[in-house]
Structure 1
C-alpha cells in the first residue's frame, strides 16, 4: 500500500481510530468494574484464556508457520515480557483512577522510540529527543512527586508502559520473518502460558459475573485492535494519532460518572503533553517519509 493510498482516506482513518479508542476505554472501564473481587493476576490470566477463542480464524496460519529455535525464543521472551505488563496493568487498575491509567499509558511509544534507538539502531534525531523530554515533563506533571504520594499503582503503570514498549520492539523484530497476524496470535498463546504459574498461586473460584466481564474485556480489546488496524490502513499514524486524545477525555468522564473519581486537571494536562509529544514525533516521521523508523502508535496493547 503506497503512501498516497494510505493518506487519501483521513476521515476514515480518524473514524476507525475513534472507534478503537472507544473500545479501549470501555475495556479499561470493565476491568475497573471488577474492583478487588478477583486478584489482578488471576483476572489477567482469565482475560487471555477467554480471548483465545478469537484465535480460531488464524489457526491455519499459526499451524503453517515454521517455528525455528530463534522464533520460539523470541515468542517466549515476548510472552514473558508482555505477561509482566498485563499483570502490572491489571494491578494499577485497582489502585489509581481511570484517567491516570490512560494518561500514563501514553508513555509506551516514548519507551518504544528510545528502545528502537538503543537496540534496533534507529537514529534519534534532536527533535525526537526534545519530544521525549517534553513527554517526561508530562509524566512529572501527572505524578507531581513531592506534592502528593506516588502510589504503587503509579509505579505499576510506569512499569506497564516500559514492558509494553519492550513487547512492541520484540514484535517489530518478529514481523520481519512472520506475518503480523501470526505474531499477534502467538502473543495471546505465550502470554497465557506465562501467566499460568502466577494465576495458580493466587487462584480462587471466579464468579459467573467476573467471567462474563472478562470475556467482554477480551472482546473489546480484540475489537479495539481490529479497528486500529483499519485506521492505520486508511491513514498514516500522524493523522490518526491526535484522535487518541479522546481516550483521556472519555476515561476522565467515565471515572467521574461511574466510579466517582475526582477530575484531576494535572492528569489531563500531563497526558495532553505526552500525547502532543508523541504526535509530533509521528508527524515529523510522516513529513520526512522515514518508513524504516518504528511508528510511535498509542494503544493499550493488552
Structure 2
C-alpha cells in the first residue's frame, strides 16, 4: 500500500480536519454574540467559497453549482444549509462548547430515525439501542426540570436535525448528483437566506471581529478540504470516528478560554452520546451502509466532504 493511500495517513488528516473545525467553532464563541448570527453566517459562507476550487472536478462547470438532477431535494438542502448554519452559530454563541458539541453529536441518531421514515431502511435492534443510548445521554446532560434550558439548546436540536435531513438528501440523490451541486446548494442557501435576514440588524464589524469571522469561514472551508483529502486516501468508516476528538478540543477551549465547567452528570451524558455515535458507526460499517460524518462544524458541509469522496470506492462517480 502506498503512502498516498495509507489509511493511517487519512485518519491523521481527519484528526487535523476536526481540529480545524473546532477552531472555526471557537471563533464564533469568541465573538460572544457581538455580531448577529445571520451576519456571521452570511460573511462566513462568503469566506467558505474558498473551498469551491478544491471541490470542483476537472469536468465540472461552475454552473453545476446550481444545476441538479432533483430540484426539490436540491432546494431542501438549500434550506437545510441555511437553517443548520444559523442554528449552529446560535448554539456555539449561547452554550458551553462541550455541551454544544454533545448535542450536535446526536446527528447519527437523527439520521437513523429519518432513514427509517423516508428511505425505508431496515434498522435492527442494535441501531435502535444506539439511538436510545444517545437520547438518554442528552437527558443526562440537559437534566430538564433541574436546570434551565435556553434557546441555545433548541438551536442545537434544530441544527442537528437540519444536518440529518441534509444527509438523508445526500443518500436519496445518490451518485448522479455532482458534489459541486450538493455543496453549492447549502452554501447558496446560507448566503441568500442569511443575507436577507441580516439586513435589518446589520452591524459593521470591527477589525478584530472581522478576524474571527474570517477565521470561522476560512477554517470551515479548510476543514472540508482536509476531510475530502482524508476520505480519498482512507475508508470513510475510518475517517468518521475521529470527529469525537472535537470534544477534547471543546473541553480544552472551554477550560482555557471561556471559563466553562463540566460536572459529573454532564461528563456521563457526553460519554453516553459518544458511545451512541460510535455504536451507530460500527453498525453502519458492518452493514456496508455509508454514513457521513457528523455535522459538527457550523458550516454544515462536513458530511458532504466524506460522503462524496469517501463513498467513491463503492459508488461510482460519487
Name the TM-score class by shorter chain: 0.7 to 0.9
CA shift for structure 1 position 262: 1.6
Normalised by the length of structure 1, the TM-score is 0.88
Indicate how the Cα distance of structure 1 residues 274 and 296 shifts in structure 2: closer, same or farther if over 3 A, else same: farther
Gaps of 5+ in 2: 300-318
Indicate how the Cα distance of structure 1 residues 93 and 64 shifts in structure 2: closer, same or farther if over 3 A, else same: closer
Cα distance in 2 for residues equivalent to 1:231 and 1:224: 10
Equivalent residues in 2 for 1:232-271 (5 A)? Answer: 232-271=231-270
Cα distance in 1 for residues equivalent to 2:256 and 2:96: 12
Normalised by the length of structure 2, the TM-score is 0.84
Deviations 1:29-88 (A, max 9, x none): 111111121111211111112222432453972435396686333322211122112111
SS in 1 for 2:175: coil
Indicate how the Cα distance of structure 1 residues 18 and 70 shifts in structure 2: closer, same or farther if over 3 A, else same: closer
1:46 lines up with 2:43 in the alignment: yes
1:173 lines up with 2:172 in the alignment: yes
Tell whether the 8 Å contact from 2:65 to 2:182 is kept in structure 1 after alignment: no
Tell whether the 8 Å contact from 1:23 to 1:220 is kept in structure 2 after alignment: yes
SS in 2 for 1:94: helix
Cα distance in 1 for residues equivalent to 2:47 and 2:119: 34
Cα distance in 2 for residues equivalent to 1:168 and 1:239: 18
Q: Which residue of 1 aligns with 2:11?
A: 14
Q: Which residue of 1 aligns with 2:181?
A: 182
1:34 lines up with 2:52 in the alignment: no
Indicate how the Cα distance of structure 1 residues 272 and 142 shifts in structure 2: closer, same or farther if over 3 A, else same: same
Cα distance in 1 for residues equivalent to 2:159 and 2:111: 12
Deviations 1:226-254 (A, max 9, x none): 22223333333443443222211110111
Tell whether the 8 Å contact from 2:41 to 2:190 is kept in structure 1 after alignment: no
Cα distance in 1 for residues equivalent to 2:123 and 2:199: 43
Equivalent residues in 2 for 1:80-229 (5 A)? Answer: 80-229=79-228
Instruction: Please identify, of 131-140 and 42-51, the stretch whose mean Cα deviation from structure 2 is larger.
Output: 42-51
Cα distance in 1 for residues equivalent to 2:282 and 2:124: 14
1:23 lines up with 2:20 in the alignment: yes
1:299 lines up with 2:295 in the alignment: yes
Query: What is the CA RMSD across the aligned residues, in angstroms?
Result: 2.5
Indicate how the Cα distance of structure 1 residues 174 and 249 shifts in structure 2: closer, same or farther if over 3 A, else same: same
Q: Which runs of 4+ in 1 moved over 4 A?
A: 66-70
Cα distance in 2 for residues equivalent to 1:210 and 1:114: 39
Indicate how the Cα distance of structure 1 residues 236 and 172 shifts in structure 2: closer, same or farther if over 3 A, else same: same
Cα distance in 1 for residues equivalent to 2:20 and 2:66: 33
CA shift for structure 1 position 97: 0.5
CA shift for structure 1 position 202: 2.1
Gaps of 5+ in 1: none
CA shift for structure 1 position 11: 1.8
Cα distance in 2 for residues equivalent to 1:47 and 1:283: 33
Q: Which residue of 2 aligns with 1:74?
A: 73
Tell whether the 8 Å contact from 1:25 to 1:247 is kept in structure 2 after alignment: yes
Cα distance in 2 for residues equivalent to 1:199 and 1:151: 22
Deviations 1:138-194 (A, max 9, x none): 111111112211222112111111111112222333343222233213321232112
Tell whether the 8 Å contact from 1:237 to 1:282 is kept in structure 2 after alignment: no
